[in-house]
A and B are shown apart, each in its own frame.
Chain A
């Protein structure tokens, strides 16, 4: 439990010397880490390779974005109470489904229930017809693709191509103030911690045991009299809600969201973070998400032409030679320590 504390609070402790930009950058990485953890819950522990995790992330982001858009008020480029893109598209009044988003708490609730509901409906249809393994992955990818196309449309009332941007306030405080950035960072860290607690709590519970049994042999669980469909549905919904919450924290820290955040490749990136860090390990996804993103930021600047090749090569390497990710390598190298640690976490 010491490592997560250090990991989450490390950049925080050196805060005085770190600029707000750095703080929000690390805050962004933390939300990515939460996203990776939510996927790990599905893929690592339940064996469902979901390729629509970034969709849930973006949905959560959009819900929070709607609130933030309304908080701009009449300070937009068109000096209207409507969001700029609506004025631009000729809307006379706020669409009805936008109305409740003036309320922060409604928006926060929507951050959870909208992705959760999408996951439940889709999961119900998919799990009911016993779609599993690769087919589940492909269908989730297609879902992402379809919704992404929908969000790219201007008449879908979510800003089309440009999405949401130019946020000003959150809960009445300036979004760009250093204190807000810090608060958002702390919120992200807390959510990370909460996700960790949920994950480990689940794993220790009977529910988590069945969850892992589904991963290892779904049919045996089925024959033992458990409805795997319901278990998978619950975990899918939960994972979607966590991803949505991560997205809601991501949007104010990055200052905008657009449909490219839910492109199919974004979901694959999340999968890669988990794979690099270590699938089915508690901290692997966090390490993977942060390391891969650090490498991405570094190589996009240092070798703009080659970073895709570097990243691609890394994935091939990880899949071929590090099936358990970075955490797995550590285990291999220091087997005894790793064993001790896993014992500790299991008892914790």
Chain B
């Protein structure tokens, strides 16, 4: 990696990241090769017959997907030679419609005259034949194991006999167990079409053990073939039935865990957002209808920080990945500041008037929404994921995206921090005192006004933190908070107002039930069902999960 980086200029880094963003992972092979794939490839294109075989041999060791891209361009006439005084340089007209130096990937600005003088390079028939095998199996040598897995499965699914040999060859040297598994799966799928009876039976059994989802269609085809030939009871047919049963069970299990996982991550976002609400609503008695707009502030702060990083360091720089880390505390601070201002100017007149606070904050939410539209436009803005949050953690065929895992982590941090703040600090003590009895706290010398401001700011800050996190999995727009506000209020009501443990549990519960119901009922009916479950739940426990015990009647 380091050697490539040295060769690439900043602008090509941008392109590099753009390619990454498109899901194409570029990297050089891990094997001990010093020269970049681009360099070897450019030599190959310029070579004469004498050392072609050698260079093809060399390039076949690389697993860099750029080879496929450039080869494609070469085949279709996108590679040119530019003859200058010093030497001949190869130019590649890439998919971003830029002229790049093929050997390094550097973006060039060519003059009109230079473009005129370009000459097309064409791959010869022999070269195309030699390269085809390399390109097809390129993915097997990629540095990223996920690319290797994808490529192996793709080769298996094509069921082409010519892929058996490279797959077997790779299986022997493959270090990763997961990729080995994928290759075995691919080989078995390939055998389904190419093997004799015994081999097919073996392959079906192998696929049963592997619980191969990719093989389902192929096994179904085998079973149909057997039944069509009225051999419905043959060993192959029976093995196929068993395989299909196992695979379907596996799929159901994966779906279940998938919903579970999504439920937890949805619940996590809900938790962060509703913790803010639980603080302003539960602890302070202020119904903050503008809470959703504070979520949006978090999203927009992330957007601004991202743009700042892009403008300062460029999208491909390693610094760019840090923007999200910076934006998390910053959105908390920005929203906290705005919340503080709001509390000082408006909210402090509304304590003990919850219904009025609802109206007033709704007016504020309208103003803020329109403010977002005026500043950032009515359309959603684009927030890119940092590269370190892309990709999945795979676990027994079950993928968990890093983004969602990270969200859960943030939620956990928020829970711990809030608990710490409320239970272990002076401010927390004051907050709880004011919440229990405002006038008593005041007469005991607690600076109620200041505590109120801080609490409100804290609630708004948490909302924005939720928004910053949400920017990674959802849209950032003027209405982004609206989707969460109703759910968050539900969370607070279910979890007993003012009880953070309850809010946490009910956020997770609502997230889970919502996601578990969605596969069978669809998103809308799922939401409606959740709502009615909540109403029924409140019949059973009107005070929520952990009702506050109080002797006062009108609480």
Q: Do A and B come from one complex?
A: yes
Q: Which of A108-142 contact B (CB under 8 A)?
A: 122, 125-126, 128-131, 133-135, 137-139, 141-142
> Nearest CB to that of B369 among chain A residues?
A308
Pick the residue among A128, A138, A275, A308 that contacts B359 (CB under 8 A).
Answer: A275
**A49, A130, A138 pick with most chain B CB within 10 angstroms:** A138
Q: Interface residues of A: mostly helix, strand, loop or mixed?
A: helix
Whether A138 pairs with B535 at a CB distance below 8 angstroms is no
**Nearest CB in chain B: distance from A138 CB, A:** 5
Tally of A-B Cβ pairs under 8 angstroms: 114
**Chain A 252-281, CB within 8 Å of chain B: the 1/0 string?**
000000000000100010011001000000
- Residues of A contacting B359 in the complex (Cβ-Cβ under 8 angstroms): 268, 271-272, 275, 315, 318-319
Say whether B354 faces chain A, with CB atoms less than 8 Å apart: yes
Check A138/B363 contact, CB under 8 A, given A125-B535, A305-B374, A319-B356: no
Whether A313 pairs with B553 at a CB distance below 8 angstroms is no
**Nearest CB in chain B: distance from A158 CB, A:** 14
Pick the residue among A49, A137, A146 that contacts B528 (CB under 8 A).
Answer: A146
> Nearest CB to that of B486 among chain A residues?
A145
Whether A308 pairs with B358 at a CB distance below 8 angstroms is no
**Chain A 88-100, CB within 8 Å of chain B: the 1/0 string?**
0000000000000
Say whether A219 faces chain B, with CB atoms less than 8 Å apart: yes
- Residues of B contacting A152 in the complex (Cβ-Cβ under 8 angstroms): 524
Whether A323 pairs with B370 at a CB distance below 8 angstroms is no
Counting contact residues on chain B (CB < 8 A from A), the size range is: 35 or more
- Residues of A contacting B349 in the complex (Cβ-Cβ under 8 angstroms): 320
**Nearest CB in chain B: distance from A326 CB, A:** 15
Check A316/B539 contact, CB under 8 A, given A134-B354, A264-B486, A308-B370: no
Whether A146 pairs with B531 at a CB distance below 8 angstroms is yes
**Chain B 330-351, CB within 8 Å of chain A: the 1/0 string?**
0000000000000000100110
Interface residues of A, count at CB 8 A: 44
**Chain A 306-344, CB within 8 Å of chain B: the 1/0 string?**
101101111110111001000000000000000000000
**Nearest CB in chain B: distance from A305 CB, A:** 6
**Nearest CB in chain B: distance from A94 CB, A:** 24
Check A130/B346 contact, CB under 8 A, given A142-B490, A315-B362: no
**Chain A 273-303, CB within 8 Å of chain B: the 1/0 string?**
0010000000000000000000000000000
Pick the residue among A142, A264, A318 that contacts B534 (CB under 8 A).
Answer: A142
Pick the residue among B355, B531, B553 that contacts A219 (CB under 8 A).
Answer: B553
- Residues of B contacting A134 in the complex (Cβ-Cβ under 8 angstroms): 281, 287, 354-355, 358
A89 vs B359: C-alpha distance when bound (angstroms): 40
Whether A128 pairs with B539 at a CB distance below 8 angstroms is yes
Say whether A209 faces chain B, with CB atoms less than 8 Å apart: no
**Nearest CB in chain A: distance from B551 CB, A:** 13
Residues of chain B at the chain A interface (Cβ within 8 Å): 281, 287, 289, 346, 349-350, 354-356, 358-360, 362-367, 369-371, 373-374, 486, 489-490, 493, 497, 524, 527-528, 531-532, 534-536, 538-539, 542, 553-554
